[in-house]
Amino acid sequence: MVSFGEDVHLKTSGEGDVKDITALVAGVVTRSGIGGGIVCVSVVGSTASVTTVEFEPGLVKDLGEAAERLFPRGLEYDHHRRWGDGNGHSHVRASFLGPGITLPVREGKPVLGTWQQIVLMEFDPRPRERTVAVQVVGD
């Protein structure tokens, strides 16, 4: 059993920004030299999430609209009342989606469907510099 990890760094433009990080994650898997196992991908922070989607403009728009319906910006969040930073909804959205995913690795690549990409979803209202921790474990 071998373990290999790297951090991936990227900038977001703020709430609603969705970045396709599939190639970045696949690059870490390739550099790991691990042919079979798992890859864990997790954003460091509490106002963004990592998931998989079909990365196309219509779905990106749909996801943003769904997040607004489920966890509206305009509600009074206790987090905002306490800190005054206007991102209570961002924390709630990220908490429900979660910080990361785990995928199988086969033949030195993350296992993904034809229309499935790994994405970072930014929920914070401000532009952010994000770190995504990628850990590959296997043989």
> Mind listing the pLDDT tens digit for each residue in 24-71?
999 999 999 999 999 999 999 999 999 999 999 999 999 999 999 999
The CA distance from 41 to 45, in Å, is 13
Above pLDDT 70, what percent of the chain? 100
Which letter, b or e, does each residue of 108-121 get, where b requires 16 or more Cβ atoms within 10 Å of its Cβ? Answer: bebeeeeeebbbbb
pTM comes to 0.95
Enter the tokens of residue 118. 């790994």
Which letter, b or e, does each residue of 52-65 get, where b requires 16 or more Cβ atoms within 10 Å of its Cβ? Answer: bbebeeeebeebbe
Give the lowest-confidence range in 40-44, 68-72, 74-78, 124-128. 74-78
Domain boundaries, given as residue ranges, for the chain? 2-138
* Predicted confidence (pLDDT) at residue 84 exceeds the cutoff of 90: no
May I ask the CATH architecture of the domain 2-138? Sandwich (2.60)
